[in-house]
Chain A
Amino acid sequence: MTRNKPNIWKYSLSAVKGIYDAYAVSMINFLRKPVTEEYPEYKRPLPERSRGRIILTRDPDGDERCVACYLCSAVCPTSCISMESAEREEDGRRFAIWFRINFARCIYCGQCEEACPTLAIQLTPDYEFCQYEVLDFVYEKEDLLVDHGGRHPDYNFYRHAGVTEKGDKGAHPDEEEPVNLKSNMP
């Protein structure tokens, strides 16, 4: 490989120009008005999908949406979600007996929302919840659970998945009657 010997004059000239440009650009910026928006005097209105404090929403029937499937905690890059699933005594529904997010660790990446198959976990535009005590950043399920459906008020996981939580199998709109294993009728 032959390497072109740089032309020393061209090289110097471009170096000087580079340095000159740098100084010029910074001076132009120096003379411009700063773009800083001063918080808390001015609070910028945030778009609906901006990612802040996390909530656990409810389905249209008012039941907790989260089925404690562990997908959010698995995908979370900072491992800040922990929970334990269990069977609800009344109806056998899978739910989280506790669900904890450590907001001191959360980086508001939104992966959890992305992963959630039931649309339970959602990020909200609220970001003003600073605390002095690190333990106060650890939110339990009681603190996370809200009484609405968030951005997706209509979805209900149990109307689509073929598990029954109440009632018989085959009751969902896209399902057939359960097979009767003791009948030979097709």
Chain B
Amino acid sequence: MPRLIIDNQKIEVPEGTKVIDAAEQLGIMIPRFCYHSALGAVGACRLCAVKFLEGPVQGIEMSCMTDARDDMVVSTDDPEARAFRRFIIECLMMNHPHDCPVCDEGGHCLLQDETVSGGHDIRRYKGKKRTFRDQYIGPFVQHEMNRCIHCYLCVRFYQEFTGYRDLAAYQIGYRVYYGRFEPGQLESPFSGNLIDICPTGVFTDKPARYRGRRWNMERSPSVCIHCSLGCNTVANARYREMLRQEARLSESVNGHFICDRGRFGFGYANLPDRPRRAEIGKNEASWTEAVRALANRLTISDGASEMKKTAVLGSARSSLETQAALAILAGSAGWPMPAYFADPHQSSVCRTVVRRLDEGLAVSMKEIERADWILAVGADPINEAPMLALAMRQAVRNGGKAGVIDPRPVFLPFDFTHLPIPREQMEFCLNHLIHSGIARQEADDAGEAVAGFYAQLPEEAEFEEAVREGISTLAEGLKQSEHPVLICGTDIVPLSTPDLAADHAHLLNRIKNTCGLFYILPGADAFGAAMLEASAESAFEDLLKAIEDGEITALMVVENDLIGAYPNRKRLETALDRLELLIVLDYLSTPTVDRADFFLPTTTVFETGSCFINQEGRLQYAEQVHAVGAPIRQLRGRSHPPREHRDEVPGGDPRPAWRAVADLVRALDLDEIRLYTSGPESWLTGSKGPFRFFQEKIYPPREGRILPAESEVAPFKSSIKKEAKKPEAGTLDILFVDRTFGAEALSALSEPIRRAEPAAAAFIHPKDASELGLSDGDSAILRFEEGDLEIPVALNNDMARGLLVIPRKPDLEWQTAGARFPRIARNRIAGVRKETE
């Protein structure tokens, strides 16, 4: 542990710490451009120069390139060092275009700060300035190369950290250019981080271009709700309009970065057609009117305390507050307990997940970065939880091995082994792989339970050559591994896979002493939803059954697009037709909202402080960013705001969904008065609230995992099949899947995401395609019983046979298929040739 002196202060730091970090620990911020704690040092900018007075190094040196060593005496404000840094700044500013007034970085620009604090205020260089042409690099990032100071952060982030190649440094000397070879959209779904990481205004936020300076923004720490990881963000709003999101450092979740879906997906909150008025039938009403009328409809006859039995469907994208409030409403009104997943598949896998995950197994993304062997089963990280792919990449960069068992064409920005196994055989493949990676002796040493489980695993498997090779590479890796992690998806896996994955994690845990288990869930608060469903034993299937049988005639849907999410359109339509009363609460305009008899507008996560539990059981709080109300821009278009005094905010009717529930409880005169007499702290932490599962009952919560120390479910109970299930000949499996851009319900509504999303296409193996007479770009017409689905096909070698992979885009009528995992006979697929000029 080296001890050194920086600016007359003694400090002891771990071996290998850079002087720049040691100083930071003392609260001394040495100026820097090119050093970033996630990317390391390259010494490109020379701004971090300090003077080493005594010790092993002497004179002016770069503090980011020098390891702290014993007996060093460092001065950061030595006149010589100051002069050096000032000179560096002057050189960096030589070609600067002096366009800060029209630059969006201005106000939070590191170059501005360092120039001013470095004392460079008068330009001495009278020569001509070098210039660059800018490029179109997609809908997310704006490029303005003249402002560059050549710190290389962008390229280091883009190429080394995220593993994409299309943004690079070109040319030499002072002509070095950072961009693409040809203009075009950046390929990386993490490109938005260039905005945060570039210390100058070269890369700026394109959707928020010219919309306001940092100091104009209302900024609050928020949490991304576009997938289950719950990355930490800083949300920026101005004039009641969400304008920009930045990554917020979270050591255990997302690190320094977020993905583009999270960064640019907030557009749904600003949509001009967002419903902002309550509706009775199709007539607008005030909030109080609507709640009172609704309460009247729900009471069977005037004055009677008996209430119409109502089914309640919450949502995995709602906050925990809303989910809990619904449970309390249903409980006190004597209704069946609410369900939260419209999709029965999601409902049961998520419940398995919350039952199986415990502190012994759960890992954060930070721990994934440190893993040396990662196996993902039924998961497509880039598309289902983009930041997970980045965490896995860091593990691989550190020497780890990664593999994915998944029938889909999985792309990841690093070297990994893909085993494109059909959906039904994934479990078999997993069992076989683990069996090959663990020696019988190891299993026997780990105790009876483990040995018994191990003994059931299939030793032999018939796979194609390529798959067999992949399995043996991964098995080899597992043998060497000390920190393995299993990742289990939930979107396409068979119902039993989450259980099986947990058992394997236990197995590896017993043998290696450590093994992480990481699930991917469908929705920002899917964990909370599953927890509440599991504790109440409720499911939407049961409710739907009761509606079909006529036992229940009213349905309340909260922040859930039931029509878009339920996999069987026909069955749902029939059930909805039997309803007497459909109540919908939402902040989006969806087909479900259009059908509602009663509608109450709710607020987005940016307009209410709310809790979310991510897929590893981490409870996080997103603070309110801005007040409820229509964005000022939408009031008078591109003109000045209205010149009038008003009592209420235009478009200010929406309330948090839990408050709507509370108002309803009050109007119905139910005895749960704490719902409307006090804030969420009282009923979240109460005896029926979800916080009853947690040790620490404070609200708003501190960040932390809320898992039990040990799951109640005993491991190794999965049933294991010795034989791989054979796919049916003559049919194709269809998988409806998530995509990075365009399939997640909220972000798909965001303008920049819509521009970035690729056209909808069904992936198919070339051999299947040729059997069907299809070639790349042709359209396939799938003739289901309920109707046709037409979609262009894209050929992909890297996927299982007998499979069509179709993105679950909101505008694609995938529910006509009638099932979550439909199977279609080959003769029901017709091809339409691509039109060629």
Contact = CB atoms under 8 A, between A and B. Distances in A.
Q: Is any CB of A less than 8 Å from a CB of B in the complex?
A: yes
Nearest to B98: A161
Interface in A134-186: 135, 138, 140-141, 157, 160-163, 168-170, 174-179, 181-182, 186
A163 B101 CA distance: 10
B595 interface: no
Interface stretch (B380-388, B638-646, B754-762): B638-646
B131 A94 contact: no
Interface in B443-464: none
Given A85-B210, A161-B99, A179 B132 contact: yes
B98 A70 contact: no
A163 B102 contact: yes
Contacts of A138: 643
Contacts of B102: 67, 69, 94, 161, 163
Nearest to A88: B210
Nearest to B641: A98
Interface string B348-365: 000000000000000000
Contact of B633 (A67, A84, A160, A174): A84
Interface in B239-262: 239
B98 A141 contact: no
A80 interface: no
Contact of A181 (B107, B128, B170): B170
Contacts of B632: 84
A133 to B, nearest CB: 11
B67 interface: no
Contacts of A178: 131-133
B146 interface: yes
Contact of A175 (B128, B170, B212): B128
Given A69-B106, A70-B216, A176 B129 contact: yes
Contacts of B129: 162, 174-176
B144 to A, nearest CB: 7
Interface size grouping (class) on chain A? 35 or more
A140 B640 contact: yes
Contacts of A74: 107, 213, 215
Contacts of A60: none
A97 B212 CA distance: 12
Nearest to A165: B102
B184 interface: no
Given A85-B212, A181-B177, A162 B99 contact: yes
A112 interface: no
Contacts of A135: 643
A118 B131 contact: no
A74 B215 CA distance: 8
A170 B101 contact: no
Interface string B633-675: 1000011110100000000000000000000000000000000
Contact of B210 (A86, A174, A175): A86
B820 interface: no
A56 to B, nearest CB: 13
A100 interface: yes
A117 B133 contact: no
Interface in B652-711: none
A94 B102 CA distance: 7
Contacts of A141: 640
Contacts of A157: 101
Contacts of B131: 162, 169-170, 175-179
Contacts of B216: 70
A85 B239 CA distance: 12
B130 interface: yes
Contacts of A68: 210
B194 to A, nearest CB: 18
A163 B99 contact: yes
B171 interface: yes
Interface in A69-89: 69-71, 74, 84-87
Interface in B100-127: 100-103, 106-107
A85 B641 CA distance: 13
Contacts of B638: 86, 97-98
A118 B131 CA distance: 22
A70 B100 CA distance: 11
Contacts of B100: 69, 117
Contacts of A117: 100-101
B174 to A, nearest CB: 9
Interface in A111-145: 117-118, 135, 138, 140-141
A98 B210 CA distance: 13
B783 interface: no
B297 interface: no
29 contacts: A68-B210, A69-B106, A70-B107, A70-B212, A74-B213, A85-B210, A87-B210, A98-B638, A98-B640, A100-B640, A117-B101, A140-B640, A160-B98, A161-B99, A162-B96, A162-B131, A162-B146, A163-B97, A163-B102, A163-B103, A169-B133, A169-B146, A175-B128, A175-B131, A178-B131, A179-B130, A179-B133, A179-B175, A181-B175
Q: Which 6 A-B pairs have the closest CB atoms?
A: A162-B97, A98-B640, A69-B101, A161-B99, A170-B131, A163-B99
